[in-house]
Amino acid sequence: MGNIDSKMNARHRESIFTGGKCFNRLVIIILNLLLFSTFSSAQLGFQLSEQNDKISIPISLHSNLIVLPLVLNHRLPLKFILDTGVRNAVLTDRTYTDILKIPYTKKFSILGAGGSQLIDAYLTSAVSLNLPNVTGDGHVLLVLEEDYIMLRNYLGTDIHGMLGYELFSRFVIKLDYQNRRITLYDRAKYKPSKKYIRIPLTIEDTKPYMIMPIKFENGTVIQAKLLIDTGASHGLMLDPESNDSIVVPRNNIDAIIGRGLGGDIEGQIGRVESIILGKYELKKFVASFPYANSYLDSLLSLKISRNGSIGGELLSRFTLILDYSEEVMYIKKNKAFKKPNFYNLSGLTIRAVGSSLNVFEITEVRPGSNAGKIGIEKDDIILSINNIQSNKMSLNDVTGFLNSKPGKKVKLVVKRGVDLKTFTFRLYDAI
């Protein structure tokens, strides 16, 4: 949420965009190291039912993240993000394992970002994680004390965890964003279609990497090594500290590009001249550039160097097939390939609160944005957008209105304390 992963000192990694802004996933790299050394011989146990060669599973999309239905220990239906950036399955709140009386084998305390908060987490093993028509027994599960990262609020839907390498290592997996489905294929029987473009991968520390040519405004082209991160909503993140040729565009804005435990991750947002994925070129693509010492790469501790990552804003423009065993990805563009690529046209960051997630609170107003200039403030509650009551909308609807196209007029009615205030402004592309 992403967003869940980071460094030995528990900083944060790839960020999730929500309504134009991103927030970062909890760091679990220390636990991943411990889990791998302790349970590397555990049987993962995912199996397709009834001797099928493939199984298709409906998904939902929230901020470009793939959300799967999952049943914990054959009893509790939950929703997990499908995340190439995590090794072991993660449950974001121990309430659910407590309900099922699942015992824990270990407890960990991790120092949060900025050293200001301790994060409690637990380890349990031999749990079942079942998907529709897919059984999975004998899994290790990392359980957080509580939902520190507030996925439910920032995605506007109930989210209970993340599932990654354990599934990708077992099957060839097709991600069909356009038709809202994933398909799991028996690796031994899968044959790639000639309609797709083949892109080599490397699988390092259970995560997929690719090389992508990126051109900057000064004409420099680099062959960037990027993590393919289905658990992050952003399109492209580049770390200037990783390569002197990664230059922040002159036309940029300062922003909080990530949000994590105990602190924000600050950086700049701008557009690179072009990126090339296979035979496909995307020009003037939005990228985030974290400040030095604000973003710390979890994988540096494992001596795996990279230049950044690509996430759902880019990946969702394609149908993808990931084959970890052959270290290859197949891609084919979909109808979203040419959709506009904007960054937070309103300057507002919104989260959903309340039991029904239909109360929308402004958590950040970007300085210098049109919304900020006319007096919209943090903690304002949105009551209506363009005369449509917000309690009839989802968070995706709200952020869609506020990031639709430059020049669109937006009328917001907000509640501030006991007062109602009305604001009208136009969406603006600051980069």
Closest-CA residue to 362 (of 322, 414, 312): 414
Percent of the chain beyond pLDDT 70? 84
Domain stop point among 170, 188, 206: 188
Residue 272 maps to a domain: yes
Residue 410 has pLDDT above 70, yes or no: yes
Digit-coded pLDDT (tens) for 360-369: 999 999 999 9
Both 240 and 308 in one domain: the answer is yes
Q: Is residue 302 predicted with pLDDT exceeding 50?
A: no
Q: Which of 188, 215, 232 is the last residue of a domain?
A: 188
Q: Which segment of 10-19, 120-129, 181-190 scores lowest on mean pLDDT? A: 10-19
Query: Quick one: 257 and 378 in the same domain?
Result: no
Query: Average pLDDT of 72-99?
Result: 95
Residue 127 lies in a domain: yes
Residue with tokens 């049987």: 43
Cα dihedral: 198, 208, 285, 152 (round 10): 130
Query: What does pLDDT average to over the chain?
Result: 86
- pLDDT digits over 11-67, tens only? 333 333 333 333 344 443 434 434 444 444 444 579 998 778 999 999 999 999 999
208/153 same-domain check: no
Instruction: Please calculate the CA angle 247-336-393 and round it to the nearest 5 degrees.
Output: 100
Tell me: do 181 and 75 sit in the same domain: yes
Whether residue 3 lies inside any domain: the answer is no
Residues 6+ apart with CB under 8 A from 187: 170, 171, 172, 323, 325
For residues 139 and 33, state if they share a domain. Answer: yes
What is the number of domains present in the chain? Answer: 3
Are 410 and 347 in contact by the 8 Å Cβ rule? The answer is no
Q: Is 344 left (phi over 0), alpha (psi -120 to 50) or beta?
A: left
Buried residues in 30-44 as b, exposed as e (16+ CB within 10 A): bbbebbeeebeeeeb
The answer to whether residue 336 sits within a structural domain is no
The pLDDT of 401-417, averaged and rounded, is 96
Are residues 285 and 221 both part of a single domain? yes
By DSSP bridging, strand 419-426 and strand 129-130 are unpaired
Domain membership of residue 339 (yes or no) is no
Judge whether residue 114 has pLDDT over 70: no
Average pLDDT estimate for 167-181: 97
Q: Report the percent of the chain where pLDDT is more than 90.
A: 75
Is 258 found in the same domain as 210?
A: yes
Instruction: Name the nearest CA neighbour of 295 among 5, 1, 30.
Output: 5
pTM: 0.88
Asked, for residue 36, whether it belongs to a domain, the answer is: yes
Three-class DSSP category at 22: strand
Whether 33 and 161 share a structural domain: yes
Are 184 and 202 in the same domain?
no
Q: What is the mean pLDDT of residues 149-161?
A: 91
Q: Is 30 left (phi over 0), alpha (psi -120 to 50) or beta?
A: alpha
- The CATH number of the domain holding residue 236 is 2.40.70.10
Which DSSP helix (H) or strand (E) runs through 207? Answer: strand 207-215
- Whichever domain contains 382, its CATH number is 2.30.42.10
Sheet strands (E) in 229-299: 236-238, 253-260, 263-277, 280-290
Same domain, residue pair 176 and 255: no
145 and 207 together in one domain: no
Domain that holds residue 367: 348-426
**Claim to verify: residue 183 and residue 228 sit in the same structural domain:** no
| Residue 57 included in any domain | yes
Alpha-carbon distances of 150 from 144, 166, 188, 212, 353, rounded to whole Å: 12, 24, 39, 32, 10
Residue finishing a domain among 298, 314, 330: 314
16 close to 359: Cβ distance less than 8 angstroms: no
